[in-house]
Amino acid sequence: MRPKLLTPSSIADCWHSLRQQRPLVHVVPNLVTANDLANALLAVGAAPIMAIEPAEFSQLPNRALVLSMGTPTIDRMQLLAQAGRAAQAKNLPIVLDPVGVGATVWRKQAALALIATVQPTILRLNLGEALALLDQTGVAHGVDVGHAWHDPRLVAGQLARRYGCVVGLTGVIDVVSDGMNWIQLEHGHQWLSQITGAGCIVTSLIGALAAVINDVMLATVSAIAGFGMAAEVAAMHALGPASFRVALFDQLGAIAELIDNSRLSYRMEQHDAD
Amino acid sequence: MRPKLLTPSSIADCWHSLRQQRPLVHVVPNLVTANDLANALLAVGAAPIMAIEPAEFSQLPNRALVLSMGTPTIDRMQLLAQAGRAAQAKNLPIVLDPVGVGATVWRKQAALALIATVQPTILRLNLGEALALLDQTGVAHGVDVGHAWHDPRLVAGQLARRYGCVVGLTGVIDVVSDGMNWIQLEHGHQWLSQITGAGCIVTSLIGALAAVINDVMLATVSAIAGFGMAAEVAAMHALGPASFRVALFDQLGAIAELIDNSRLSYRMEQHDAD
Amino acid sequence: MRPKLLTPSSIADCWHSLRQQRPLVHVVPNLVTANDLANALLAVGAAPIMAIEPAEFSQLPNRALVLSMGTPTIDRMQLLAQAGRAAQAKNLPIVLDPVGVGATVWRKQAALALIATVQPTILRLNLGEALALLDQTGVAHGVDVGHAWHDPRLVAGQLARRYGCVVGLTGVIDVVSDGMNWIQLEHGHQWLSQITGAGCIVTSLIGALAAVINDVMLATVSAIAGFGMAAEVAAMHALGPASFRVALFDQLGAIAELIDNSRLSYRMEQHDAD
């Protein structure tokens, strides 16, 4: 397979489709970022529904499911699993954000059980969370994971093959991988690490685009690229992390135009054999 | 009965009374907009209390109850009912927001049961939610409701008679009806549909004004008019939905002055016989 | 003991240490301000974790615990107690915010039981909440507490001795007391009373500083002074409570510099014998 190029027009098309189709996106939110995700999805033109009653999961006419593992409890993990099974029955894309999975052994085991049940279409996480999921016996902070792992391209590829899904690994450098191929992006701003919910928001945007685009790699790259560009523009209008956050949400509605005006394209590369 | 005119001074008086009396308003919030409602009520001069423990409902010295049905669960529906019964025992105005009631059959049945138990003083909703509540067997998206229903004046009147309450139906055109009479308003801004919680906020403001004004129609019109005017001014200071939201909350504290300076009055009309 | 002076440099050092050490702070949030506390802690350089599953409390490598009693339920009170016991076992500072403790008899009894179990290192509250905790049989609004109580220095001292902890009593005048000595501060802005969560945010900042500074009085004064100064600067950039809130969060990241540039020092005075 030759390297493939994701062009600005293919990415902008995702964002335009989203606004035209206005898909219902079911989000199982956490206690911290529920409001942020609703506002982010509304800003980009999706129709969020934050449903947490299992009795109505199968009745929702949603086109994607977004699972945020933040503020996990034993009951919430069951709820996330139930939402996942409902989405599986509808054959919908499922995006899972294993928030802070490396924080405790309990959280990691809960995440692994959830992944096994839900079989997410896409995992969106940061490097610390990815490393925690690649070592099934320890936790991120207590394990010497070795240097080779820290190349985000290798980490993303390994994770995608391990869990059979597309991985959106975000950080200073973002990598999207389906286990065979990877795409690297370098957008965003340091203030993203000084506000809560930035990762959850990208996760929800991936869900929104996956609702309207069958190509999961393209949806994931488009979400991460668009969000990162919005952050770059927002930072120019901000005095600190809070005014940055306001400007970021303002820009979310203009992502399609931001990408239309950019000249950036992203090259898809093949992973080396393990 | 002759048409009655609601004047700017009668509406502004509501807002001035609110600030003077600072009534305690009990809100049973949802997971998404709890923070927004607390900030909105503080901004207009009310004293919000977000209490969710039934053991303290009867002890609260609140003067109104605001029920938001967002993020419903079987447990939360029981909690809303318990809060409603406590408010009934205190003879307080109850405002109910049946958030997304048309989304699923489960949600609709849960809302109808809650309305029957709580017998709200005021229902605040949008057109989709209103249509769902007028057809008790289907859901909004799956039902051909016919053209006549879509006149918001007819919908509001029908709903008010069906459930024996005042209806605040908000959208591009807002209508307030008590089943006999209706008042039409045209305030607001399209950005209100691009932020979460706009409907919930109006609902909470209706509750705050109903706490200090016995005339339920006047309280409902005053809340919807004041909120819509605040949105119009906010839009002039904003670059997108998020900076609009900040400007909107800034303006909430100045509603009394906005209305004092306006010349708008609202005419009360009689519904035709069915 | 002679009066002791807390200098700008000793206070600024706390804030610099916080940013250097980036301590993990466990917050058991309430439904209303969870997002605010996460953003506030990130802004000042702490690493918040909003964990609510008892199974992981003992596993968390946190260095302080912040307990917000807002939106209390019987289950949440148990959860707060469990988090407190886990922190005790780790010998960590615990900051408790008895939100709205005077609102109902139920809430007050629940708070007293929690205080007895958790034995907080620091109580952060306002005058109304303090008065409720000083009268164990009535509630704040229904009790004539007498004039002498309303001197915040006396109230803070009494409360500190009663519960064996440092008290951070905030309001127009702020007082910090360990029962023997008190320090008075006069920072802040009236808009702090028009946004939700201002008290909770100070509470979380006290927790963050107590994680890196052993001197509990110093940590509490530094948090209250820094937050109040940030509010004063923020007010200069704001048009109303919502833009004030954005500016306040922007300023939280610059507190160390604000204090470095100030010339304010705070004198520690001894309480009179009862």
Mutate to test the interface with C, among B18, B30, B41, B42 (most CBs of C within 10 A): B42
For chain C, the chains sharing at least 3 beta-carbon pairs closer than 8 angstroms are A, B
Which residues from chain A sit within 8 angstroms of residue C252, using beta carbons? 240
pLDDT-derived band at A2, boundaries 50, 70, 90: low
pLDDT-derived band at B149, boundaries 50, 70, 90: low
For C25, the 3-state DSSP assignment is strand
Read off φ and ψ for residue C125, nearest 5 degrees. -160, 175
Which residues from chain C sit within 8 angstroms of residue A78, using beta carbons? none
Beta strands A181-185; B47-49: pairing state:
unpaired
Q: Which residues 125-164 on chain B approach chain A with CB closer than 8 angstroms?
A: 141
pLDDT-derived band at A144, boundaries 50, 70, 90: very low
Return the pLDDT at C184: 96
Residue type, C176: V
Structure-derived torsion over alpha carbons of residues C123, C126, C131, C134, reported in degrees to the nearest 10: 0
Q: Is the domain defined by B8-261 classed in CATH 3.40.605.10?
A: no
Residues ≥6 apart with Cβ < 8 Å to B238: A250, B191, B244, B246, B247
Query: In 3D, which of A168, A141, A82, A69 has the Cα closest to residue A110?
Result: A69
The CA distance from A118 to B129, in Å, is 32
Mean per-residue pLDDT of chain A: 92
Residue with structure tokens 């207009």? B44
Which residues from chain C sit within 8 angstroms of residue B43, using beta carbons? 194, 240-242
Q: Do B49 and C240 touch (CB under 8 A)?
A: no
The length of chain C, given as a count of residues: 274
Nearest chain B alpha carbon to A24 = B103
- Global pTM reads 0.95
Which residues from chain B sit within 8 angstroms of residue C193, using beta carbons? 42
The domain limits of chain B are: 8-261
Q: How far is B128 from chain C (nearest CA, A)?
A: 28
ipTM of the complex: 0.93
Higher pLDDT: C109 or B135? It is C109
Which residues from chain B sit within 8 angstroms of residue A49, using beta carbons? 100, 103
For C171, the 3-state DSSP assignment is coil
Q: Do B240 and A250 touch (CB under 8 A)?
A: yes
Question: What is chain C's pLDDT, residue by residue, as a tens digit (274 residues)?
Answer: 556 889 989 999 999 999 999 999 999 999 999 999 999 999 999 999 999 999 999 999 999 999 999 999 999 999 999 999 999 999 999 999 999 999 999 999 999 999 999 999 999 999 999 999 998 444 444 333 344 457 999 999 999 999 999 999 999 999 999 999 999 999 999 999 999 999 999 999 999 999 999 999 999 999 999 999 999 999 999 999 999 999 999 999 999 999 988 888 899 999 987 5
The number of CA neighbours under 13 Å toward the Cβ of A180 is 6
For A10-35, the pLDDT digits (tens) are 999 999 999 999 999 999 999 999 99
Return the pLDDT at B8: 87
B100 CB near a chain A CB, below 8 Å?
A: yes
Nearest chain C alpha carbon to B35 = C32
The whole-number average pLDDT for the span A183-203 is 96
Termini Cα distance of chain B: 18
Range C261-264, long-range pairs (CB < 8 A, 24+ positions)? C262/C8, C262/C229, C263/C8, C264/C8, C264/C225
A194 CB near a chain C CB, below 8 Å?
A: yes
A245 CB near a chain B CB, below 8 Å?
A: yes
Return the pLDDT at A274: 59
**CA quadruple B236, B238, B241, B246: dihedral positive or negative?**
negative
- pLDDT over 70 at B138, yes or no: no
Q: Do C35 and B34 touch (CB under 8 A)?
A: no
Nearest chain B alpha carbon to A251 = B240
Which residues from chain B sit within 8 angstroms of residue A53, using beta carbons? 72-74, 106-107
The CA distance from B183 to B174, in Å, is 8
Tokens standing for A158?
């390994």
Among B5-9, B16-20, B37-41, B170-174, the least confident range: B5-9
A250 CB near a chain B CB, below 8 Å?
A: yes
The CA distance from A222 to A62, in Å, is 21
Q: Do B241 and A251 touch (CB under 8 A)?
A: no
Residues ≥6 apart with Cβ < 8 Å to C203: C66, C68, C95, C96, C97, C124, C168
